Chain A
Amino acid sequence: MNIGDTAPPFDLPATDGTAQGPGATPTAVVFTCNHCPYALAWHERLLDVARDYGGRGVHVLFVNSNDAERYPRDSFEAMRERVEAEGGWPAPYLHDESQEVARGFGAKTTPDVFVLDEDGVLRYRGAPDADHNDPSRGAAWLRGALDAVLEGRDPEPAQTEPTGCSVKWSQ
């Protein structure tokens, strides 16, 4: 999926028992997982984004597309256990068992961040910020993209290189 493309719609089961997907509001779709060190290193920063932008009409969706047969730590049950162990998340954690959503978006890594505007058009794709190892970066690229979309501007940068573990595709 390229910047300017319309994202494929989806509706995935969440660990809280609901089913969710992008709606008619700006949405950040974050492909992530339970065991990748890059996803874990960025995790708190991404939760902070969900907290900070939820009140501004932004929908943040965390999506786990990894093959749970080869990586049991990414099973739906393990996802539920993790959210519960962490006291709940400020955004839903969705299970993409068929991996169709990851394929449709062209997700490569965990994390891989996609920002859609209210029409479902891709406006930003890439990493949350420039350094997984530096919490002070604060997911600045993602925040900048959301600010731009909320203000009707084009994000700058609109695209960065996603950095992380490869999505674990079924074999």
Chain B
Amino acid sequence: MSHRPCVELLWWEGCPSTEKALVLLREAMAAEGLDPDAVTMREVPTADDAERERFVGSPTIRVGGREVAPAQDEPVGLACRVYRLRDGRVSPTPDPRDIRDAIRSASQ
């Protein structure tokens, strides 16, 4: 039996990639049979908030409490997050396949 995991998008206003990340996330949710509007948007406005959230950069997507692309030795703080797409390119947003895989895994 599948269940609906909590899907969160943590963002900081200093990065312009939030909107793109939300589009990718909603597409992945729709593709996996979830309500694409059921995203909890959480702003991380201060360095203290970043510390509390263990926030390593914007955007950060968590599904069922787990990162869709776990950070590799990234320092906590207010910054734009660096992702690697599956073809090796650097990107401000996660690979869409990583988002879908995380949703699928959390839904099982």
* A37 and B82 contact, Cβ closer than 8 Å, known pairs A132-B92, A133-B89, A135-B89: yes
Query: Which residues from chain B contact A43 at a C-beta distance below 8 Å?
Result: 90
Query: Which residues from chain B contact A37 at a C-beta distance below 8 Å?
Result: 17, 80-83, 90-92
Pick from A49-57, A82-90, A144-152, A158-166 the stretch touching chain B. A158-166
Query: Which residues from chain B contact A166 at a C-beta distance below 8 Å?
Result: 14-15
- Encoded as 1 (CB less than 8 Å from any A CB) or 0, chain B from 28 to 49 comes to 0000000000000000000000
Q: Could you tell me which residues of chain B, from 68 to 108, have a CB within 8 Å of some CB in chain A?
A: 75, 77, 79-83, 89-92
A38 and B92 form a contact (CB under 8 A): yes
B79 and A41 form a contact (CB under 8 A): no
> Nearest residue in A to B16 (C-beta to C-beta)?
A163
Query: Which residues from chain B contact A135 at a C-beta distance below 8 Å?
Result: 89
B79 and A38 form a contact (CB under 8 A): no
Q: Could you tell me which residues of chain A, from 4 to 19, have a CB within 8 Å of some CB in chain B?
A: none
A133 and B91 form a contact (CB under 8 A): yes
Query: Which residues from chain A contact B82 at a C-beta distance below 8 Å?
Result: 35-37, 40
* A41 and B14 contact, Cβ closer than 8 Å, known pairs A35-B82, A36-B80, A165-B80: no
A71 and B81 CA atoms in complex are apart in Å by 13
A40 and B83 CA atoms in complex are apart in Å by 10
Interface of B is mostly: loop
A41 and B89 form a contact (CB under 8 A): yes
In the assembled complex, how far is the CB of residue B94 from the closest CB belonging to chain A, in whole angstroms? Answer: 11
Query: Which residues from chain B contact A133 at a C-beta distance below 8 Å?
Result: 89, 91
A74 and B17 CA atoms in complex are apart in Å by 21
Query: Which residues from chain A contact B16 at a C-beta distance below 8 Å?
Result: 38, 163-165
A116 and B34 CA atoms in complex are apart in Å by 51
* A165 and B14 contact, Cβ closer than 8 Å, known pairs A35-B82, A40-B82, A71-B79: yes
Contact of A41 among B75, B77, B81, B91 (CB under 8 A): B91
Query: Which residues from chain B contact A71 at a C-beta distance below 8 Å?
Result: 77, 79
A37 and B80 CA atoms in complex are apart in Å by 7
Query: Which residues from chain A contact B83 at a C-beta distance below 8 Å?
Result: 37
Query: Which residues from chain A contact B77 at a C-beta distance below 8 Å?
Result: 70-71
In the assembled complex, how far is the CB of residue A86 from the closest CB belonging to chain B, in whole angstroms? Answer: 13
Q: Could you tell me which residues of chain A, from 22 to 68, have a CB within 8 Å of some CB in chain B?
A: 35-38, 40-41, 43
Query: Which residues from chain B contact A73 at a C-beta distance below 8 Å?
Result: 75
Q: Which of A164, A165, A166 has the most C-beta atoms of chain B within 10 angstroms of its own C-beta? A: A165
- 5 tightest A-B CB contacts, nearest first: A37-B92, A165-B80, A40-B90, A37-B82, A166-B14
Which residues of A pack against B, CB within 8 Å? Answer: 35-38, 40-41, 43, 70-71, 73, 132-133, 135, 163-166
